[in-house]
Structure 1
Amino acid sequence: MASYHHPDAAPDAKKDFSKDMSYGDYLGLDAILTAQHPRSPDHNEMLFIVQHQTSELWMKLMLHELRAAIACVADDDLPPAFKMLARVSRIMEQLVHAWDVLATMTPSEYSAIRPYLGHSSGFQSYQYREIEYLLGNKNAAMLKPHAHRADLLAQVQRAFDSPSLYDEAIRLLARKGHAIDATERDWTSKRDYDAQVEAAWLAVYRAPQAQWDLYQLAEELVDLEDAFRQWRHRHVTTVERIIGFKTGTGGTAGVPYLRRQLDTVLFPELWQVRTVL
């Protein structure tokens, strides 16, 4: 772990750092810290670029953890999955707070850089789209923004074609003896509410000690969706604060489009269980 200020971290005057891997070498800082190329003369564009680049780095870690968690759930190996899913939720909390930094940009400041952004837009983030797909929000139309890059399209397509985290959780419920008929389906479609899935989760919540692993998985999933909702909500609020109801740079309706996304429920049966318990 990096030690920035500890007195014991003072460099040895006799050590030749040119022969060893340095902190910057290990982290690839030359590439990271020279990846900011403002296109406008405005001072505030650096904030806009760093905000989105750091978000993409956090999303890279989220994908790393989500893919591994899905594999663990599919293999009935839940303890590592719990840690991975908890980490994803904490990353989403980081991203929520990141909007606080971007919110320091005023409408006037954003207006100065907007003409230089072209048609670039956050909805073109292929990593974000993979996250949505891995969490089960499947929408074939959102493959189109990546069609110009065959490599990126293939990457997003894999997530689109694969079982989501919740698909694997439902398969696990069935393997644990819960009566669920539709465990195999078209993975490219968004799941519909299933009364059998709700009944299975209800049984878990009514006897948590008897099925503690499933109970903990359920709570990790709810925690994850809770954090994701907060991330989305903070996003739309920040966008409205900065651009109001202008059309998005990528051609979307802007705030109205983002608000519609707030109605998306990823794990409906887990939320419904809270009403019927």
Structure 2
Amino acid sequence: MNDSTTALDEPVTDAALTRPFTGASPYDTYVRASVLNSLQQPLTEAPDEMGFLVTTQVMELWFTLIVHEWRTARVAFAKDDLHTATDALTRSRRALTALGGAWAPIAALTPAQFNGFRAAFGQASGFQSAMYRHMEFLLGDKSAGLLRAHRGDRAVHEALAETYREPSLYDEALAYLHRQGLPVPRHVRERDVTRPYTSDPGVVEVWRHVYAGPRHHPHLALGELLTDIAELVTRWRFDHALVVRRAMGARPGSAGSAGLAWLERRAAHPVFPELWEVRGDV
């Protein structure tokens, strides 16, 4: 091998790598890469539109994974299976970290760059994402109005309505803690789960008891894991608001929403509120 030859110049000798496929490769059959790679169809010649499309589609995939993990955790809490629940929540924490990093390709769009393709997507807006709505409903942020917005797509609406009617991830975590001997108030356990979850002083007291207990208790670890998730969701919301502020300022959203103002209100809304309030009491 002379100095100008690299490893990439060497002939492939592994027969498994050069064996012809019968039809699509096994990789493509499993991953459906050819389908995924066919979904980016920019509507303009703007050089930044492709990055916007890919970023948005990647986020939808992360939403799907996070919803899957939270549903797994919710079912496990209902079965008093803390191990399975915390495993799923830990996986969702990694997915949320990746979701937050997905902003990078479009985080520095200027107004001129964004305007280069903004008109092409018309009334489309991120708040219309059904999978993100599943995420919010699982967090306890229920909204009958936002559910109604999806009535035009029957399958999507029915699936979202099911999540709307079911207890949230946090509802099931609190029910689990009550069955473990912690005094979650009855009015919290029997609340109308189609209503948005709001902070309750009795739940603050439950978490105060947990945080005042042994440092390595599983319930304290659960509290910190839920706090990690709440923080990552909040950071993603704040980053969303910053991306929008940088690209379009305070103009109304593409679907007529309040745009930046709405995103900032959502970012300021606490996830699992008692876990933040209790820290001043410990």
Candidates 29, 41, 46, aligned match of 1:42? 46
Alignment of 1:89-238 (within 5 A): 89-179=93-183, 180-182=185-187, 183-208=189-214, 212-238=217-243
Task: Tell me the SS of whatever aligns to 1:141.
Answer: helix
Size of the aligned set, in residue pairs, is: 271
The alpha carbon displacement at 1:104 in A equals 3.6
1:19 Cα shift?
6.9
Are 2:58 and 1:54 equivalent residues in the alignment? yes
What is the Cα-based RMSD across aligned positions, in Å?
2.0
Letter in 1 for 2:125: S
**In structure 1, what is the Cα distance between the partners aligned to 2:128 and 2:23?**
42
The residue type paired with residue 127 of structure 1 is: M
Report the Cα distance in structure 2 between the residues aligned to 1:13 and 1:221, rounded to whole angstroms: 44
Query: Deviation at 1:21?
Result: 4.8
**1:107-160 residue CA offsets vs partner (Å, 9 max, x unmatched):** 112101111111000000000000000011112111132111011011111111
Contact 1:89 1:228 (C-alpha < 8 Å) held by counterparts = no
Letter in 2 for 1:18: T
The answer as to 2:257 corresponding to 1:252 is yes
CA contact (8 A) 2:203 2:274 kept: yes
CA distance in 2, matches of 1:145, 1:234: 25
User: Could you list the per-position Cα deviations for residues 166-185 of structure 1 after superposition, in whole angstroms to 9, with x for gaps in the alignment?
Assistant: 11111112111122222112
Kindly indicate whether residue 31 of structure 2 is the aligned counterpart of residue 27 of structure 1: yes
Q: Which residue number in structure 2 is paired with residue 78 of structure 1?
A: 82
For residues 14-37 of structure 1, the C-alpha deviation after alignment (integer angstroms, 9 at most, x for no partner) is: 634227852122111111101111
Separation in structure 1 between the aligned mates of residue 89 and residue 190 of structure 2, nearest angstrom: 23
8 Å Cα contact 2:78-2:172 kept in structure 1: yes
Highest Rg: 1 or 2? 2
**Taking structure 2 as the reference length, what is the TM-score of the superposition?**
0.90
1:18: which partner in 2? Answer: 22
Amino acid at match of 1:212: H
Amino acid at match of 2:156: L
Gaps spanning 5+ residues in structure 2: where?
Answer: 1-7
| Aligned partner of residue 17 in structure 1, secondary structure | coil
**Normalising by structure 1, what TM-score?**
0.92
Distance 1:186 1:29, change over 3 A: same
CA shift, 1:213, in A, is 2.2
Q: 2:24 and 2:245 mapped to 1: Cα distance? A: 49
Secondary structure of residue in 1 paired with 2:276: helix
- What amino acid does structure 2 have at the position aligned with 1:155? A
Distance 1:219 1:213 in 2: 10
The runs of 5 or more residues in structure 1 that have no matched partner are none
Contact kept, 8 Å, 2:234 with 2:271, in 1: the verdict is no
